[in-house]
Amino acid sequence: MSPELDRTRPVWRQVAAAIETRIASGEYPVGARVPSVVELSNEFGIAVSTAQKALAHLKAEGLIRAEVGLGSFVTERPVAEAEPPA
């Protein structure tokens, strides 16, 4: 069953947000493979080009890295620097 998408907002952003949520929740931990464009296309009922745009956005944001022939994987996020004491 595919998740419901709001067709009044850019679909690729909604798909990217869904993957970001899965990463944040730990469903896709660091190093885990994220679904391919074909898998995302089937899951969300979207065009492959839309899935490609969503993954490209996540890659640009540094959330995933792509390895040719292997797929895309969750990257290790840098720990936010603590604020210096006042």
Q: Are 5 and 36 in contact (CB under 8 A)?
A: no
Tens of pLDDT along 67-83?
A: 999 999 999 875 554 45
What pTM was estimated for this model as a whole? 0.83
Q: Give CA torsion, residues 27, 22, 71, 39, to 10 deg.
A: 100
Tens of pLDDT along 12-69?
A: 999 999 999 999 999 999 999 999 999 999 999 999 999 999 999 999 999 999 999 9
- Rounded Cα distance between 37 and 6, Å, is 20
